[in-house]
Amino acid sequence: MNPSVCLLFLLVSLSTTLHTATLSGIVTDGESGQPLPYVSVVLPELKRGDHTDLNGTYSIPKLLEGAWQVQVSSIGYLTRTDTLHIEQTLQHSVSLLPDPITMKSEIDLPMQSLKELVRGVRQRIHEDVFQPRYEELKTHRFGMRGTQTLYRGDSPKSGVRARIEFDGEGYYRNPGEIFQVITAYRSGNRLAGGFGMHPGAIVDIRKGSLGGKRFDVGPLPLSPNSDKNYRYRLVDTIQMGDIIVHRLSVMPKKKRKPGLEGYVWISGRDFSIVGYDLSLNRHTLQKLGIRELQTYQENALYFDKYWLPTNQTVRIRTIAGQLAEQTTTLSGYELNLTLADSLFAGPRLKMHAQATSRDTTYWKERSATLDADQAAEFRKLMQNDQLPEGWKRLMKE
């Protein structure tokens, strides 16, 4: 057979066999029937995964067809593993049963002192992106979806003055390199030159410029050598199934470089950051002429091993009485991929040429009403008596 014909035959064979599929479904509590949020749904062999949303639903697209193990797990519940033959679009809904051991109100679990927690986090943290370093997690890819909203007054009830929505994806590589690309972008009533926080999944409020005034708060809390600028206090400890989460208060020391203040949640299992709620301190706010600049991040447990970001919010409130918020949701992590060096060349944030050409149909499910829908689902979720109390307390705070 002619070599060129052989090559053509091989390419045709590959194109007809390497089909992709989508796995989706809903995860519920096996006793109450209520949907479960932030449940980890992963395919370990493919290193792919997702978390359920507030409605308990998940979707993992672009999977290779075939027989794969699917692992569904959540804090306080028994892990379920099924082997599925995935073709085209497969619905796989699961009910999880509470773990009779980890759901007990009191478990003999090791506790850490404040000194141990601070030392443990410092050994793991990334200075640039404020998340722990996982030595065995060399790379990952994630999807992101976000909004930027400028309100007419100092409250969301005042109405929306301008709004930006964006979808995209990001790539991360140790030790701290990150690249993001906006694949869909829509601007509604955007104010020329007066609105638009930098759209991106990682927001660093350590230093920057606001209203023409530059600021630098020094090292991030709990980063190496941060004890010269910050003081810490162990506020309380929350039990989430078989995981202990500690809440630390951080405050800048007097007569030191202005810094951040607020709270950081740390896993007692491996000193990973579970979340944080930090604001610029009063001195820096007065210098910038604003009332509030706050950043909040909530992480979720992937593959029962890695605490990775799922929700991030940045809020700016001005003395003039205006409120601006950016919210980013991250999902669909793919771990330890082979990423080319060229991917990280150039600016950390790029926008595809076709990003602004998405039609109305694409944005229909991403309208401003989603904020109200999520708030309603959150209220309903907090009324669920079957949800682990520690998990509830962490969300409330």
Q: How far apart are CA 76 and CA 55, in angstroms?
A: 18
Q: Which two tokens stand for residue 199?
A: 């759209």
pLDDT in tens, 48-75: 888 888 788 899 988 988 999 999 988 7
Q: Are residues 55 and 161 in the same domain?
A: no
Task: List pLDDT tens digits, range 218-239.
Answer: 778 888 778 888 999 999 888 7
Parent domain of 27: 17-96
Return the pLDDT at 5: 39
Pairing of strands 323-335, 139-151: antiparallel
* Of 112, 113, 119, the residue nearest 222 (C-alpha): 119
Looking at the fold, whether 281 and 319 belong to one and the same domain comes out as: yes
Confidence of residue 346 (pLDDT cuts 50, 70, 90): confident
Structural domain includes residue 382: no
**Do the domain assignments include residue 142?**
yes
H or E element that contains 166: strand 160-173
**Are 219 and 299 found together in one domain?**
yes
Does residue 283 sit in the same domain as residue 349?
yes
Q: How far apart are CA 261 and CA 191, in angstroms?
A: 31
Domain annotation covers residue 41:
yes
pLDDT in tens, 276-287: 999 988 888 888
Is residue 160 domain-shared with residue 121, that is, in the same domain?
A: yes
Contact (Cβ atoms closer than 8 angstroms) between residue 179 and residue 344: yes
pLDDT, averaged across the chain = 78
* Structural domain total, the chain: 2
Residue at 153 is within a domain: yes
How far is the first Cα of the chain from the last one, in angstroms, to the nearest whole number? 69
Q: Which residues contact 339 (CB under 8 A, 6 or more apart)?
A: 139, 141, 171, 173
Pair 180, 312 in one domain? yes
The pLDDT of residue 217 is 77
Q: Are residues 221 and 314 in the same domain?
A: yes
Q: How far apart are CA 343 and CA 138, in angstroms?
A: 15
> Does 2 score more than 50 pLDDT?
no
Domain contains 397: no
pLDDT of residue 315: 87
Identify the pLDDT of residue 80: 92
Residues 140 and 287 in one domain: yes
Q: What is the mean pLDDT of residues 325-332?
A: 85
Using the CB atoms, write b or e for 161-173: b if 16+ within 10 Å.
bbbbbbbbbbbbb
- Nearest partner of 372 among 64, 90, 187, 159, judged by Cα: 159
Band (pLDDT 50/70/90 cuts) for residue 314 is confident
- Dihedral through CA 77, CA 82, CA 88, CA 90, nearest 10? -50
Residue 332 included in any domain: yes
Say whether both 119 and 91 belong to one domain. Answer: no
What is the spatial distance between Cα 246 and Cα 232, in angstroms, rounded to a whole number? 12
| Residue 83 pLDDT | 93
The answer to whether residue 384 sits within a structural domain is no
Is residue 1 assigned to a domain?
Answer: no
Q: Which of 96, 130, 145 is the last residue of a domain?
A: 96
Q: What are phi and psi of 74, to 5 degrees?
A: -155, 150
Same domain flag for 87 and 206 = no
* Contact status, residue 129 vs residue 178, Cβ threshold 8 Å: yes
pLDDT band, very low/low/confident/very high, at 6 (cuts 50, 70, 90)? very low
- Helix (H) / strand (E) element for 236: namely strand 230-240
**Do 81 and 217 belong to one domain?**
no
Question: How confident is the model at residue 94, as a pLDDT?
Answer: 93
Position 380 scores a pLDDT of 64
Interval 198-214 mean pLDDT: 61
Quote the pTM value: 0.80
Residue 46's CATH number: 2.60.40.10
Under the banding of pLDDT at 50, 70 and 90, the label for residue 178 is confident
Q: Which of residues 43, 63, 96 is at a domain's end?
A: 96
The pairing of beta strand 94-96 with beta strand 20-29? parallel
218 vs 359: CA distance, rounded Å: 43
Indicate the range of 83-97, 127-141, 318-332 predicted with least confidence: 127-141
Q: Domain check: are 259 and 317 in the same one?
A: yes
Q: 96, 123, 142: which is the final residue of a domain? A: 96
